[in-house]
Amino acid sequence: MPAVSKGDGMRGLAVFISDIRNCKSKEAEIKRINKELANIRSKFKGDKALDGYSKKKYVCKLLFIFLLGHDIDFGHMEAVNLLSSNKYTEKQIGYLFISVLVNSNSELIRLINNAIKNDLSSRNPTFMCLALHCIANVGSREMAEAFAGEIPRILVAGDTMDSVKQSAALCLLRLYKTSPDLVLMGEWTSRVVHLLNDQHMGVVTAAISLITCLSQKNPDEFKTCVSLAVSRLSRIVSSASTDLQDYTYYFVPAPWLSCKLLRLLQCYPPPEDGAVKGRLVECLETILNKAQEPPKSKKVQHSNAKNAILFEAISLIIHYDSEPNLLVRACNQLGQFLQHRETNLRYLALESMCTLASSEFSHEAVKTHIETVINALKTERDVSVRQRAADLLYAMCDRSNAKQIVAEMLSYLETADYSIREEMVLKVAILAEKYAVDYSWYVDTILNLIRIAGDYVSEEVWYRVIQIVINRDDVQGYAAKTVFEALQAPACHENMVKVGGYILGEFGNLIAGDPRSSPLVQFNLLHSKFHLCSVPTRALLLSAYIKFINLFPETKSTIQEVLRSDSQIRNSDVELQQRAVEYLKLSSIASTDVLATVLEEMPPFPERESSILAKLKKKKGPGAVSVNELEEGKREGGELNGGGERGGDSSAIASTPSPSADLLGLRAGPPVTAAAPSAGSLLVDVFSEAGVNDDGFLRFVCKNNGVLFENQLLQIGIKSEYRQNLGRMYLFYGNKTSVQFVTFTTTVTCPGELQSHILHIHTWNSLEPLIEGGAQVQQVINIECLTDFSDAPLLNIKFRYGGALQNLTLKLPVTINKFFQPTEMASHDFFQRWKQLSLPQQEAQKIFKANHAMDTEVLKAKLLGLGMALLENVDPNPENFVCAGVIQTKAQQVGSLLRLEGEGEKQVFSLPYYPQSFNRKNCTLAVSLEHSL
Amino acid sequence: MQFMLLFSRQGKLRLQKWYVPLSDKEKKKITRELVQTVLARKPKMCSFLEWRDLKIVYKRYASLYFCCAIEDQDNELITLEIIHRYVELLDKYFGSVCELDIIFNFEKAYFILDEFLLGGEAQETSKKNVLKAIEQADLLQENNNTSCSMGLLLS
């Protein structure tokens, strides 16, 4: 096209842009810009009214300056003035400025909306389009409020120009995305759906995006679009390449519309109407056939457009997952692309095959490409393509090819890009666990993983291998032998030392018969790594040493000497020092029997979902899609983590892995009472769901607000309010550090029967996964008490702090007494009712010693905090307290009476507690009260 | 589509179009990060990459990179052709477009984009129709042009 007009020659603007381009330095540029800004400001402020052209020019300059990355704080008003110009180009610049630089200055929004309203009703199609573009570009809530009602009318009106319809459709889509509540299609629904039949391809192309988005939210209302979309698609697919004139793109008829149609169909299941379905299958087959035809052009645009449709068709085939024939054809087609010379196609084929691998119909077909994919992993030059190959290998893995795939992934890890190592490590760990037929292979694989990519092996991975070794006695000897050998390496990764220390501490005896790995050799080997390790690992090693003393009495003196050395017993780290002191003491005063009990072998871990899997699930991407599949496979096949296999876990309650115990379970042993509370978070068993911290819980029996939990990292505050059987709890999570917490997630669970019918908990707002250092975020939980309950809901908090996973479970302080409604009653009434309640299940009595000397006022406050009415002058004995209240649950209301009798010097209380029907629950309440006194 | 960026080999941003609400600060951060990532890639690498939870589709024309961010379920290849069609539109409008045209007539580049894509979706894919809409605006204007001497985008 010769000499097209290139704007209306804003000479001043061109000069200014040239000036900027000629600036030699950033400073010069800023100087020039400041000069220009001063000039424009003076023009805008000047007495002389500016003509439209000048105004346009200056607004355009401001826009240019803003787009260069500088702040603009004036000119908005002049831009708004341009909107009401009747010169198109002035209006256009005004709208552009508003679209790019809108701010929520309410006064301006009103003026802008006014101008838009005028243009929308101008019946001048070009003005209408400008106004619609502006709404679509800004898409603010204020605009939705002003125009969401008007635009559907414009969209479906018979006399609206096609170009305006196109803009209106997409404008509405944008408003729907920002404010779905304001965009109500209602009566227009069917007319909007019928835009799919419009003669103008452009209208269909624009409208279908709107219809797809609306269908996702309200599939039923829009389901008639399915048959319309199929017939439209069928007409396009079967048209000759020139039929559609300007909508043919490099010999491909309407590629954008075809993709959008196929995308719309993915919002629905396969059509039920046989004829529609037949027609659609025909279309899909035609698309697959065309892929085999020789290209009509050598241009990459031709093949891209054609393949865009092909990939979208394959997505639809995978979405339906019901036509084995099409699935296998799709897979073969992708197989061809795997070896295509276009990198883009190889990438997309790998990506698309990942989803095919999870279909039962095509899983086997995908597997036939394993060699090609492995080759891609080894030879692709682009890391993003290699990543796709690794994802696909993960997705196509099953029992038959697991060893090969895991081996390939391990060898790839040695050279893998740093950015994907952690994910690769997780994937290898999961595959190795899931498809382990013999556990020695599993142990080898994980140790290899640590050797090759130790830095990327997260805690979950090495915790998991220990968990599995503990639970499987057939692999323990092998594991001990293997870690012993691995530790021989002069430089081994700290994670290896952790696993080695733990396993030898537990099972070193299984290899101690061999003089090459005698107890002392084992100890010396471990201790040779000690000084190179970080504090948490050293702490773990110290625990391994005390386990050694129990396993091998002959090492006792050597180890005691180590513990006694200044570097241990006077270590500046309080945790290490404490361990050294306590272990030393334990080993010297406890009898062999006591030692054997305290330091007994760890009992099996309870079976639970692999936390590695949970971690990978959080990662997005096609590789994660198949995680669900994997889980299913696991339920059928693997029992790797068979917790119960070694028989009852009645063994030694004392060493059952307890909430905050470290992996070696030492702290649970009675003689070691005071392990440091700080205990390096590393050693908290991240697997343990039983790891409930209820220190804070009991304090909340008699109060509703306060700090539930606090450590060096995190503070959790609570504010709660209850009315009848409903409650609302505000949780405040405060980051006490200066570093952000990432992947911060909280889940509230109701264990056991609490979940099914006792307490209904609804989390109100979800949290951002990130808490900045020093920041606090809030979460609201709604609680409904359906019927009586005794357990408390659990709050689990997970986040990463400086790379380390923090996992914390707390009891939420929701106790039955929160639903008390105080009831006043006179002395006479009280004792009459008291006497009526004489059946054993109607009363509970508890005698306990108060934790503190009680002062009457404190006691009163606590009883009031319990939620009942404190009845004054009812009990003849002033030392006694009586209370009455009604517990409100959704199912019933239960009256309760309470009498607290003090004895002696208020040290001992007896607490007869008389609820009418709560039998075993009343004890809970009594116990709670006891603790809080 | 969530946004489209045009930037030069030197990392200078030439056009930015955002289809999701983001703060200026966030926009600058994204731009910086993406320009860096894309410029670091070698010529024969594939045109797609995962970035945060989005897919980036980019292509280089002469001295300019065209870069789109699309969502998980969006089609990469068709997005690549969206870029190409936009370049064709610019080329047809300016007559052998080059980077300078886009610098000096940045407002036109935005107008053409608005006719072609709206709210991140293709509004009108016919080249003829898009240009018709743009030319209507130019009808009243005097002809005036500057010659350009840089490498052509489409060659």
Cα distance between residue A354 and residue A210, in whole Å: 29
The CA distance from A648 to the nearest CA of chain B, in Å, is: 46
Q: Is B145 part of the contact surface with chain A (CB cutoff 8 Å)? A: yes
Q: Per-residue confidence at A229, pLDDT binned at 50, 70, 90?
A: very high
pLDDT per residue over B34-93, tens digit each? 999 999 998 889 999 988 889 999 999 999 999 999 999 999 999 999 999 999 999 999
More confident residue, A244 or A268: A268
Phi-psi region of A516 (alpha: psi -120 to 50; beta: other; left: phi over 0): alpha
The CA distance from A209 to the nearest CA of chain B, in Å, is: 7
- At A863 the three-state DSSP class reads helix
Q: Has A60 been labeled as part of a binding site?
A: yes
Evaluate if residue A78 carries a pLDDT over 60: yes
Mean pLDDT value of segment A307-322: 94
- At A260 the three-state DSSP class reads helix
**What is the per-residue pLDDT for A200?**
92
Cβ-based neighbours of A452, under 8 Å, separated by 6 or more: A410, A413, A414
Chain B, 111 to 140: residues with Cβ < 8 Å from chain A are 111, 114, 118-129, 133, 135-138, 140
Which position has the token pair 């200056």? A58
Evaluate if residue A686 carries a pLDDT over 70: no
Mean pLDDT value of segment A132-149: 90
- Tell me if A483 sits within 8 A of A465, measured CB to CB: no
- Tell me if A875 sits within 8 A of A808, measured CB to CB: no
- Chain B residue numbers touching A385 (CB-CB < 8 A): 46
- How buried is residue A563: exposed, middle or buried, by Cβ count under 10 Å (0-12/13-18/19+)? buried
Q: Has A443 been labeled as part of a binding site?
A: no
Evaluate if residue A54 carries a pLDDT over 70: yes
Q: Is B110 part of the contact surface with chain A (CB cutoff 8 Å)? A: yes
Of the listed ranges A305-319, A516-530, A695-709, B12-26, the least confidently predicted one is A695-709
Evaluate if residue A594 carries a pLDDT over 60: yes
Cα distance between residue A823 and residue A866, in whole Å: 13
- Tell me if A76 sits within 8 A of A40, measured CB to CB: no
| Among candidates A17, A89, A266 on the partner chain, residue whose Cβ is nearest the Cβ of B141 | A89
Cα distance between residue A87 and residue B139, in whole Å: 12
Asked if B118's CB is within 8 angstroms of A133's CB, the reply is: yes
Cα distance between residue B18 and residue B115, in whole Å: 15
Q: Where are the alpha helices (DSSP H) in A472-599?
A: 473-487, 494-507, 519-530, 535-551, 556-564, 566-569, 574-589, 592-598
pLDDT per residue over B94-120, tens digit each? 988 888 999 999 999 999 999 999 999
Kindly state the tokens that stand for A292: 């085999």
Kindly state the tokens that stand for A662: 């470290």
Evaluate if residue A410 carries a pLDDT over 50: yes
Evaluate if residue A853 carries a pLDDT over 70: no
More confident residue, A718 or A898: A718
Q: Is B48 part of the contact surface with chain A (CB cutoff 8 Å)? A: yes
Asked if A344's CB is within 8 angstroms of B129's CB, the reply is: no
Of the listed ranges A265-279, A337-351, A693-707, the least confidently predicted one is A693-707
Asked if B94's CB is within 8 angstroms of A344's CB, the reply is: no
Mean pLDDT value of segment A773-785: 82
Asked if A17's CB is within 8 angstroms of B76's CB, the reply is: no
Phi-psi region of A873 (alpha: psi -120 to 50; beta: other; left: phi over 0): left
Asked if A96's CB is within 8 angstroms of B110's CB, the reply is: yes
| Among candidates B19, B78, B129 on the partner chain, residue whose Cβ is nearest the Cβ of A259 | B78
**What is the per-residue pLDDT for A692?**
55
Evaluate if residue A708 carries a pLDDT over 70: yes
Q: Per-residue confidence at A2, pLDDT binned at 50, 70, 90?
A: very low
- Tell me if A462 sits within 8 A of A468, measured CB to CB: no
Average pLDDT for chain A = 81
Q: Which residue of B has its CA nearest to A21?
A: B103
**What is the per-residue pLDDT for A718?**
87
How many Cβ contacts (< 8 angstroms) between chains A and B? 201
Cα distance between residue A748 and residue A782, in whole Å: 11
Count the residues in chain B: 155
**What is the per-residue pLDDT for A849?**
66
Asked if B16's CB is within 8 angstroms of A4's CB, the reply is: no
Q: Is B155 part of the contact surface with chain A (CB cutoff 8 Å)? A: no
Evaluate if residue B146 carries a pLDDT over 70: no
- Chain B residue numbers touching A620 (CB-CB < 8 A): 53, 72
Kindly state the tokens that stand for A443: 């142990």
- Tell me if A167 sits within 8 A of A132, measured CB to CB: yes
- Chain B residue numbers touching A140 (CB-CB < 8 A): 21
| Among candidates B50, B107, B144 on the partner chain, residue whose Cβ is nearest the Cβ of A60 | B107
- Tell me if A652 sits within 8 A of A600, measured CB to CB: yes
Q: What is the pTM of this model?
A: 0.67
Mean pLDDT value of segment A682-700: 49
- Tell me if A274 sits within 8 A of A329, measured CB to CB: no
The residue of A19, A263, A384, A387 whose CB has the most chain B CBs within 10 angstroms, and thus the best one to mutate to test that interface, is A384
- Chain B residue numbers touching A202 (CB-CB < 8 A): 123-126, 129
**What is the per-residue pLDDT for A874?**
78
- Chain A residue numbers touching B19 (CB-CB < 8 A): 174
The residue of A141, A200, A257, A344 whose CB has the most chain B CBs within 10 angstroms, and thus the best one to mutate to test that interface, is A344
Highest mean pLDDT range out of A47-56, A295-304, A639-648, A918-927?
A295-304
Asked if A173's CB is within 8 angstroms of B119's CB, the reply is: yes
Count of CA atoms in the C-beta half-sphere (13 A) of A262:
28
Of the listed ranges A40-54, A659-673, A722-736, the least confidently predicted one is A659-673
Element at A810 (helix H, strand E): strand A804-811
Mean pLDDT value of segment A337-356: 93
Mean pLDDT value of segment A742-761: 73
Which position has the token pair 């008389």? A914
> Pairing state of beta strands A692-693 and A804-811?
parallel
Cα distance between residue A391 and residue A424, in whole Å: 9
The CA distance from A205 to the nearest CA of chain B, in Å, is: 6
ipTM for this prediction:
0.92
Asked if B119's CB is within 8 angstroms of A177's CB, the reply is: yes
Evaluate if residue A618 carries a pLDDT over 90: no
**What is the per-residue pLDDT for A766?**
63
Q: Has A59 been labeled as part of a binding site?
A: yes
Identify the CA nearest to A817 among candidates A762, A874, A896: A896
Q: Which residue of A has its CA nearest to B59?
A: A344
The CA distance from A891 to the nearest CA of chain B, in Å, is: 46
Cα distance between residue A92 and residue B24, in whole Å: 23
**What is the per-residue pLDDT for A724?**
80
**What is the per-residue pLDDT for B153?**
66
Mean pLDDT value of segment A725-732: 84
Mean pLDDT value of segment A156-182: 92
Cα torsion A185, A191, A194, A200 to 10°: value is -100
- Tell me if A792 sits within 8 A of A700, measured CB to CB: no
| Among candidates A206, A246, A304 on the partner chain, residue whose Cβ is nearest the Cβ of B123 | A206
Evaluate if residue A628 carries a pLDDT over 90: no
Element at A625 (helix H, strand E): helix A622-625
Evaluate if residue A658 carries a pLDDT over 70: no
- Chain A residue numbers touching B73 (CB-CB < 8 A): 263, 266, 315
Mean pLDDT value of segment A278-282: 95
**What is the per-residue pLDDT for A675?**
34
- Chain A residue numbers touching B155 (CB-CB < 8 A): none
Identify the CA nearest to A823 among candidates A877, A790, A866: A866
Kindly state the tokens that stand for A801: 């702090």
- At A908 the three-state DSSP class reads strand
Mean pLDDT value of segment A196-224: 93
> Pairing state of beta strands B121-122 and B117-118?
antiparallel
Q: Which residue of B has its CA nearest to A16?
A: B104
Evaluate if residue A353 carries a pLDDT over 90: yes
Q: Has A11 been labeled as part of a binding site?
A: yes
Q: Per-residue confidence at A755, pLDDT binned at 50, 70, 90?
A: low
Name residue A760's beta-bridge partners. Answer: A784
Q: What percent of chain A clears pLDDT 90, i.e. is strictly above it? A: 36
**What is the per-residue pLDDT for B148?**
39
More confident residue, A912 or A540: A540
- How buried is residue B144: exposed, middle or buried, by Cβ count under 10 Å (0-12/13-18/19+)? middle
- How buried is residue A840: exposed, middle or buried, by Cβ count under 10 Å (0-12/13-18/19+)? exposed
pLDDT per residue over A7-28, tens digit each? 456 788 899 999 998 988 989 9
Name residue A585's beta-bridge partners. Answer: none
**What is the per-residue pLDDT for A854?**
63
Would you say the C-alpha torsion A269, A272, A274, A276 has a positive or negative sign?
Answer: negative
- The DSSP symbol for A508 reads G
Evaluate if residue A164 carries a pLDDT over 90: yes
Mean pLDDT value of segment A373-399: 90
